Structure 1
C-alpha cells in the first residue's frame, strides 16, 4: 500500500543494482537533506535511493525528481524502523548492498565504494560503518558497547556524567585506538551499510521501537545471525546529530519507552 507513490515498482527493474539506500523523513531541514541526497547520488555505482516520507501531508513529494530516487509517501508517522522496513520484502533480489542513512549525513563519493570493498573481504561481516565526526570536526562516538541501564540513564541526564565518567568512557571504547578498524558491538544507525541479503535475513528493524534503540537492537540481531559489525575509521562521514531527546520532552519519553522495550527484550 505504501509503494503507490513510486513511479516504477521495484520488482519491475530486472537488473540487480550495486546499492540501495533508504532515508526516513519527518521534520527535516531541506538544505541538509539535499546535501545528503546529493552525497549518495554522486557515488559511482548503480543505485536507487528510497525517500520514505512519514509526514501526514506528504511534505517532501515532488522535491527530488532524479531518476535514481523513489519517493514513498506513508501518510503518517510510523517511526524510524517501520519506515525503513517498508521496502524490505522487495530488496533481496534488487541490490547487493543496502544503506540505512540519516537525512543529516554528508560524505565523499568514495566512502561507500571503499566500505563495500572492505565489507567484501570478510564474509562474516554483515554490516560496516565509518568513523563519524560532528560538523566542527570533533569525533562522534558512533561505535559503542551495548548499553547498560546506568549508562543510558547517565547519558540522558548530563549532570550525572562527571559522576559516572568511567561508565560513559567504557561504553564508548575509549580504551581502544579508534583510528583502527575493529569489530564493535553497536554501530549507530545514522549510517549502516549492509549486505542486502543479511539485512533481509535480519528482517530489518524491530518495529516495536517507534524511535531510538532500534539500531542497537539490530546489532544484537546480527550477533544471533552469527555475523559481525565492523567499525572502519579509514573512511569518515559528517553527522549533524540533533540529539532531540535531550531537548524535546516528547522525544525524551520516546527514548525512555524504547529503552524499557530494549532491556525487557535483551535483559538488564
Structure 2
C-alpha cells in the first residue's frame, strides 16, 4: 500500500528517504521535526525549493500521520511506501530511489537529528563544487562528541575490534581504530576530500549520481550496504566530508542489538569482502 499525501517533485529540489522497521515513535518524530526545521531554513534561503519525503515502512509502523505534521506545515510533500514487508535497508531505500526525480536525494536514518542550517550548508557546498556527488556531514552523539563514521578500507580485525570488543579491550587497539576511523583527517573545521567510506545514516547525493549507481546493492539485507555504495561512488564522482553540515546520531553498534544483528553483520561483511577484497590484519 502506498499513501501519497501530495505529488512528488520533479527535476528540482530535494527528496528524502527514511526506511523504518518497528521504529521508536518518539525518536522518529524528533527526526522528522528536525528535518522540518532544516527544510524551513532551506526555504528561507531558497524560496520555492520543493522537498519530498518518502517513508518506507518495512513493518511495525502503524500511524505515520502525527509525525508528518511538522513537515507538512513547512510545505514539504510526503509519500508512504508500505505493504512490501521487511525487505532490508538498502532495498527499502531503493523503493524510493527508483521513483525520485529530484536534484538531490538524502538517504536518512530515523535516528538522525539535523541541525537547523544543515541543508542550507549542504546545498551551498554542492553549488560551489560541481564534481561532488556525495556529501557526508559532521556527525555528533548525544554527549556532544564527534562520531568518526568516515572509514578507511577495513580489515577483519578492525571490524571485530570496533564492533564486538568491550570498551576496555578496545583501548589496546586505540591507534589502530583511530587510523581506521580517520581521526588524523576528520575534524570540526576542514573539508576532507574523498574519504573511502562514509556512513549510511546520512548520505546526501546528487540524484543523477545515485541513479547512475542504481542505488544500493539489494543483496545486502542490513550492514555494509553503505560501505559498498561509498566505494562504487568513487568510480563516478567525488565524495566530501563537510563539517559545516551537522547532524546528531542516536544509533548504536550491531553487538549491542543482539544475536540477530550480529548474524546479519557477519553475513554482510562476508559479502562485502568477497566483492571488494579480503584484508585480514
TM-score by length of 2: 0.86
How far residue 5 of structure 1 moved from its aligned partner, in angstroms, is: 3.0
Q: Does 1:223 align with 2:234?
A: yes
TM-score by length of 1: 0.90
1:199-255 deviation digits (Å, cap 9, x = unpaired): 111100001100000011100111222x22111112211110132433311001100
Q: Does 1:36 align with 2:31?
A: yes
**Unpaired segments ≥5 residues, structure 1:** none
Larger mean Cα displacement after TM superposition, 159-168 or 215-224: 159-168
The structure 2 residue matched to 1:76, chosen from 79, 82, 85, is 85
- Check the 8 A contact 1:6/1:70 in 2, yes or no: yes
> d(CA) in 2 for partners of 1:177 and 1:142?
9
The equivalent of 1:241 in structure 2 is: 251
Which aligned segments of 4 or more residues in structure 1 are displaced greater than 6 angstroms? none
> d(CA) in 2 for partners of 1:18 and 1:38?
19
Larger mean Cα displacement after TM superposition, 69-78 or 241-250: 241-250
The equivalent of 1:59 in structure 2 is: 62
- Check the 8 A contact 1:58/1:73 in 2, yes or no: no
> d(CA) in 1 for partners of 2:97 and 2:84?
18
Q: Does 1:99 align with 2:110?
A: no
State the number of aligned residues. Answer: 259
- Check the 8 A contact 1:41/1:68 in 2, yes or no: no
**Unpaired segments ≥5 residues, structure 2:** 44-48
1:58-103 deviation digits (Å, cap 9, x = unpaired): 5245443636121111341101000000022222xx2110000010
What is the RMSD of the two structures over their aligned residues, measured on CA atoms? 1.9
